[in-house]
Amino acid sequence: MTSVSKLAPSPRPPQGSEGGPRLWTGEQAPSDAATAPSPPQPAVTGAAMDVPIDRPSRLRYGPVAAAAVVVLLLALAYWQWAPRGLQVPADTVRLATVEQGLFQDRVVVRGSAMPMLSVVLDAVDSGRVEEIGVRDGAMVKANDLLFRLSNPQRTLELLARQSDHAQQISNLATLRVSLESSRTEHQRRARDIQYEIEQAAKQQARNVSLAQQNYVSQAVVEESGDRLAKLRQSLIDENTRDKAETAIKQDSIRQMERVVASLQSGLNLMQQAIDALSVRSPVAGRLTDFRLQVGETVKTDQHIGRIDDPAHFKLSAQVDEFYLSRLKLGDSGEVRIGDQRHPVKVTRILPQVKEGRFTVEFEFSPARSGELSPGQAVDITFALGTPSPALLLPYGNFIGDSAGEWVYALSPQTQVATRRTVRLGRRNNNQVEVLSGLAAGDRVVISDYAGFGAATQLELVK
């Protein structure tokens, strides 16, 4: 086995020795003594590099400044909203003081005049406007021509019905002629049979007399008797047949008469429809809402206008739903027209509430004529009770916004209004009765609350 010996690496010559690299520092070359090997140096750990470095002061205090700004803003918001509430200019709100006084339990509403009697005009048939006799707003008399329509289809239908009616009348006449002919023929046959019966009866009488005298045989008597019996039976049969035939023909005539009557009725209706194309005024009065033009096409059931009674009027008013349970039929009131006051009474209450109001109709008591025009607005005052002492607050828009359940009441000697729960009672156009939640002397915001949102406090600022 061959052994391999490892050669040790030759030692690296020290720096500065001959044949090795020499470091030049720019100074005089070191002496040999200086080039002597130095003692071993400690290992480099990098600990000398961990030296704290001071940051700039503006970076150090930035978060602190931001936090201070946030705290300042929160404090400002709390100062503006929490202590005193929403700031509101004082000149934009109305203030009122709760006072003790007499509550006038009456209401003033705005009503409009309506005709007591009106007749609505609707088209009963379609057609083209050919003629107009009056204009909107004119006074008309009963049976005055308002306008005339043309409808070719109705004319054709009328002609067809007239043709059917004439045909059925002809058929009815034929049946009646046939009945009379049959009756005449029956009478002729009956007279002939009756004559033969009389002759046969005479012959029978002669044969019986001759047989008694033995001039004829008994067989001749029997033959004449049989012939007489046959003739009498023929007369009975003829009468029976005539009655049956007459009954049948009379029934046919009655049916035909009903058909003719029905056709006549339809013809009359059709004629009325043709006549209705010329529309006339059903009553006397003032024609309103009438805007037809010549050449215009009118459809069935189309609203054309109405005729109003120009002398008698009623009043219609929209009343707040608060009074729905308090107002009743027969309640009295008054309306002022010019310089005169006229009594009225409630005649109709429509309880359907729409947008917080319901409709009430009033009539003059006693009835009056003239002095009004349709649509004219008047003030109606009606009383719901007698005046009585109460704690009062002026009526304002706040009632609709808060439903009368709370108000903004000002604290004494401050300009801060706090939401306060109240209970309100009767009201009219000027006053509201305060039942609880406020006392005499309290100042209350009575203007619109819609712009305050859900704020519980208001600060009135100048």
Q: How does DSSP assign 249-263, residue by residue?
A: HHHHHHHHHHHHHHH
Q: In CATH, what number does 118-151+277-306 get?
A: 2.40.50.100
What is the rounded distance in angstroms from the CA atom of residue 274 to the CA atom of residue 247? 40
Give 219: exposed, middle or buried? Use CB within 10 Å, 0-12, 13-18, 19+.
exposed
Q: Is the pLDDT of residue 112 over 70?
A: yes
pLDDT at 31: 42
Q: Which region among 92-96, 141-145, 197-201, 413-417 has the lowest average model confidence (pLDDT)?
A: 413-417
Query: Which of 155, 154, 157 shows the shortest CA–CA distance to 125?
Result: 154
Query: Which of 382, 360, 436 shows the shortest CA–CA distance to 404?
Result: 436
What is the rounded distance in angstroms from the CA atom of residue 249 to the CA atom of residue 257? 12
Q: Across residues 155-167, what is the average pLDDT?
A: 88
pLDDT at 20: 42
Q: Taking the CA of residue 228 as centre, how many other CA atoms within 13 Å lie in the half-sphere pointing to its CB? A: 16
Domain map of the chain by residue range? 86-105+388-461, 108-116+309-383, 118-151+277-306, 153-275
pLDDT at 62: 67
Q: Is the pLDDT of residue 81 over 70?
A: no
Band (pLDDT 50/70/90 cuts) for residue 375 is confident
CATH class of this structure's domain 108-116+309-383: mainly beta
Q: Tell the CATH topology of 86-105+388-461.
A: 2.40.420
pLDDT at 216: 84
Q: In this structure, what token pair is assigned to residue 132?
A: 């107009």
User: To the nearest whole number, what is the mean pLDDT of the chain?
Assistant: 81
Rounded to 5 degrees, φ, ψ at 268 are -65, -45
Per residue in 226-277, pLDDT (tens digit) is: 999 999 999 999 899 989 999 998 998 999 999 999 889 888 888 888 888 8
Taking a C-beta distance cutoff of 8 angstroms, is the pair 94, 447 a contact? yes
Q: Across residues 172-188, what is the average pLDDT?
A: 89
